[in-house]
Amino acid sequence: MNRVWSAFRARPYLGNVAGYTALFASADVFQQSVLGRRGSPGVDWRQTARVAAVGFCFHANFNYQWLRWLERRLPGGGAKAVVGKVVVDQLVAAPLTISAFYIGLSLLEDKEDIFEDWRQKFWTSYKAINFSVVPGVARTVFLGGGSLLFTIYLCHLRQHQHQDLQVQNK
């Protein structure tokens, strides 16, 4: 694992772009496999390739540059900086990335009206999912799913710092 992390740190741009592209492809495979496509058995690998292409061509590159720019403009991890980053991100980047997803896939699918999906789905995608899509009885569990990822991060950070302290105390 240290080799992977060392390679990632040596070339953060390539690591982030490759990782983001893999996440986009994985999300599509998960969506098709677990959530299912209506009436279609198996995975449509051409669809997954299109999603990965949109992730690679726009999202990975945009988000890498965007987050670097955002950190330079609002440096630090204090409450004020974090709130500022979240607000700016939601007002600027979220509409752009959602739009790029729908329009990009429509272009790759060679749709006649590349804005049709965007017009039909943008606002639903942009609204807070927890309050607009998830039924009230399931909101706590839905937030728990998001918290799971954050808790994994916190556990990793705590364990990593614990290991660093053990090394320093020897």
Q: Would you state the pLDDT for residue 52?
A: 93
Query: What tokens does 8 get?
Result: 């990632």
Domains in the chain: boundaries? 2-126, 135-170
Q: Would you state the pLDDT for residue 159?
A: 60
Buried b (16+ CB within 10 A) or exposed e, 25-44: beebbeebeeeeeeeeeeee
* Mean pLDDT per 10-residue section of the chain, whose length is 170 residues: 81 87 86 70 88 92 91 89 85 90 94 94 76 64 64 62 51
Distance CA 126, CA 96 (A): 10
Flag whether the pTM goes above 0.85.
no
Q: Would you state the pLDDT for residue 102?
A: 92
Contact 89, 46 (CB under 8 A): no
Q: Would you state the pLDDT for residue 158?
A: 62
